[in-house]
Amino acid sequence: MTDTMIARLPEVDAFLSRASGSFIDGEHLSGSGRHADIIDPSNALSLTRLGLADEAIVDRAVASAKRCFDNGIWRGMKPAQRERILLKFADLVEAHGEELAQLESLNQGKSIHIARMVDVGFSVDFMRYTAGWTTKLEGQTTSVSIGMPEGAEFHAYTLRQPVGVVAGIVPWNFPFMITLWKVIPALAAGCSIVIKPATETPLSALRLAELALEAGVPAGTFNVVVGAGSIAGQYLAEHPDVRKVTFTGSTAVGKQIGHAAVDHMARFSLELGGKNPMLVLEDADLDKAVHGALMAGLLNQGQVCAAASRFYVHRSLHDAFCERLHGAIQGMSVGPGLDPAAQLNPLVSRRHQQSVLAHIERAQAEGAKVLRGAAVPEEGFYVSPVVLSGVTQQMTVAREEVFGPVLSVIPFDKIEEGLAMVNDSDLGLAASLWTNDLSQAMRLIPRIEAGTVWVNTHVTLDASLPFGGVKQSGIGREFGREAVEACTELKSVCIAY
Ligand code: NAP
Ligand code: MG
């Protein structure tokens, strides 16, 4: 820790004393049952203590969302009016940006710079972009050829209507941003929503629910249940009054949620992380590729679903690539997220820190060479980043999502061999290709099995560009028109005259 730590805004402390548990019908609930400490990952100390939702509280949240949907106040508003309220919500998030960034950094552990630029900055753009779809949802008129009864004429069209109550289940890596990825498309479509944040990181979702209310989103339209995934999360996904479930997290839990949703025919979308490759061809700009790898692999300590974790590098560049990565991770400064000088911050929890350390040990036991980064403090949930060389495709570290600062480098000789290893994965969220050979890039892009392919960049998201996975990385897309349409039902109308 350096002496440059930024001072906490009084608004952050005021919120920490105000938050008490779930947020339903526009009010904080205190809850009388189980409570949990919300931990600062940089020192393992409690930031606040919140009441945890049981099934009865989830029932209240869903009932509140359903009442708001059924009374039609939100979905019945003129689209332009709903758009104005969502834009006001974005303005409030922007105006409270520093407070929100501090809260996110304190609770998640991440760098204040990332919290300001990505969590808040990107989210404000995302909110404004997505709010714009409120006024642009449309159906189609179709040309029907119905031949009976004889002489009848027909007019047919499709109508987009909000699906109903949406449940959003959110992980701990970008709790603020991913909450908004669930909330804004749902509200833009005219739905109401219940968010269940991860147990470790519920704070920013609660603050967002307050700001939505202040912007004019009717009380009960956006509720937050703070509770365990296995209890509150599971019960929410199974709830018969939930019409759509949108989930981001692990593949195993995603499958359970998909099954729970199908059991009551709720729509669902699953964003399930990746084991994302970077393919560095012989002609690539090494400086750019190394810089890109550090960004793509270490952003948020590697706790990013689209992070690059498998680096397939042409043999002619391989040694220089490993050396440069190793040099960079040795020189990194370490500290809490609120220390603006720190380049490396803690992971979210003790549990996750132990899981990442176990992956590194296992990789070493399976034969990878471990190149270690800067030393990290004992206190807090830090993990020193590592570059693994000598990794093979069969090693666990090349196959399973680690979700930490672990960069596995694998050389290849022929492009076909590199491509085969890129696609040799159960997961398929994103991939990047590093080359200046346009023809090669154009030929490879369609052959890479991933929901997103970047060229000479990685982890660059935009609100207009649909994002989601293929294979075990999930079902459905967030962002763009798709995200809002996924919160609607398409009704077909046929009128005889
Ligand atoms: P997880 O278990 O999938 O948790 C994600 C969310 O689902 C949390 O809100 C969690 O609540 C909830 N949940 C857990 N079990 C549930 C259930 N049976 N029904 C409904 N909701 C449930 O993820 P994790 O344990 O935090 O992380 C495990 C691994 O998942 C990571 O190491 C990483 O590989 C991957 N992951 C991927 C992403 C991504 O962006 N795609 C994000 C985070 C993690 P609780 O927090 O209360 O358990
Ligand atoms: Mg879990």
The pLDDT of residue 213 is 98
pLDDT digits (tens, 9 = 90+) for 143-190: 999 999 999 999 999 999 999 999 999 999 999 999 999 999 999 999
256 Cα nearest atom in ligand 1 = 18
Mean per-residue pLDDT for 308-328? Answer: 98
The pLDDT of residue 33 is 87
Is residue 5 a part of any domain in this protein?
no
309 and 302 Cβ atoms separated by less than 8 Å: yes
- 271 a catalytic residue: yes
Is residue 166 a part of any domain in this protein?
yes
- 322 a catalytic residue: no
Mean per-residue pLDDT for 129-137? Answer: 98
Is residue 396 a part of any domain in this protein?
yes
Is residue 169 a part of any domain in this protein?
yes
Q: Tokens standing for 178?
A: 């991913």
388 and 448 inside one domain:
yes
51 and 89 inside one domain:
yes
Q: Is 404 in the pocket of ligand 1 (CB under 6 A)?
A: no
- Band of pLDDT at residue 3, cut at 50, 70 and 90: low
291 and 231 inside one domain:
no
254 Cα nearest atom in ligand 1 = 3
227 Cα nearest atom in ligand 1 = 47
Pocket test for ligand 1, best of 250, 401, 452 (most atoms within 8 A of CB): 250
Is residue 102 a part of any domain in this protein?
yes
Distance 348 CA to ligand 2 centre (A): 13
- Band of pLDDT at residue 4, cut at 50, 70 and 90: confident
Is residue 161 a part of any domain in this protein?
yes
pLDDT digits (tens, 9 = 90+) for 376-395: 999 999 999 999 999 999 99
| Nearest CA, atom 26, ligand 1 | 171
216 and 285 inside one domain:
no
197 and 179 Cβ atoms separated by less than 8 Å: yes
Distance 350 CA to ligand 2 centre (A): 13
| Nearest CA, atom 38, ligand 1 | 249
Ligand having the closest approach to the CA of 348? 1
435 and 422 inside one domain:
yes
Distance 219 CA to ligand 1 centre (A): 28
The distance from CA 396 to its chain's CA centroid, rounded to whole angstroms, is: 24
Is residue 3 a part of any domain in this protein?
no
Distance 200 CA to ligand 1 centre (A): 10
48 and 85 inside one domain:
yes
- pLDDT mean across residues, the chain: 97
The pLDDT of residue 449 is 98
Pocket test for ligand 1, best of 169, 246, 305, 461 (most atoms within 8 A of CB): 169
478 and 400 inside one domain:
no
Q: Is 474 in the pocket of ligand 1 (CB under 6 A)?
A: no
Task: Pick the catalytic residue from 83, 99, 238, 271.
Answer: 271
- Category of 395 on φ-ψ map: left (φ > 0), alpha (ψ -120 to 50) or beta: beta
68 is in which domain, residue-wise?
Answer: 10-272+473-494
How many domains, the chain? 2
pLDDT digits (tens, 9 = 90+) for 76-127: 999 999 999 999 999 999 999 999 999 999 999 999 999 999 999 999 999 9
- Band of pLDDT at residue 2, cut at 50, 70 and 90: low
155 and 287 inside one domain:
no
19 and 56 inside one domain:
yes
297 and 255 inside one domain:
no
340 and 228 inside one domain:
no
Is residue 403 a part of any domain in this protein?
yes
CATH of the domain at 39: 3.40.605.10
Task: Pick the catalytic residue from 305, 322, 401, 449.
Answer: 305
273 Cα nearest atom in ligand 1 = 41
- Band of pLDDT at residue 30, cut at 50, 70 and 90: confident
Distance 171 CA to ligand 1 centre (A): 5
358 and 483 inside one domain:
no
Angle CA 379–109–175, to nearest 5: 145
CATH of the domain at 451: 3.40.309.10
Three-state SS letters, the chain: CCCCCCCCCHHHHHHHHHCCCCEECCEECCCCCCEEEEEECCCCEEEEEEECCCHHHHHHHHHHHHHHHHCCCCCCCCHHHHHHHHHHHHHHHHHCHHHHHHHHHHHHCCCHHHHHHHHHHHHHHHHHHHHHHHHCCCCCEECCCCCCCCCCCEEEEEEEEECCEEEEECCCCCHHHHHHHHHHHHHHHCCEEEEECCCCCCHHHHHHHHHHHHHCCCCCCEEECCCCHHHHHHHHHHCCCCCEEEEECCHHHHHHHHHHHHHCCCEEEEECCCCEEEEECCCCCHHHHHHHHHHHHHHHHHCCCCCEEEEEEEHHHHHHHHHHHHHHHHCCCECCCCCCCCCECCCCCHHHHHHHHHHHHHHHHCCCEEEECCCCCCCCCCCCCEEEECCCCCCHHHCCCCCCCEEEEEEECCHHHHHHHHHCCCEECEEEEECCCHHHHHHHHHHCCCCEEEECCCCCCCCCCCECCEECCEECCECHHHHHHCCEEEEEEEEEC
Mean per-residue pLDDT for 343-350? Answer: 98
Q: Is 469 in the pocket of ligand 1 (CB under 6 A)?
A: no
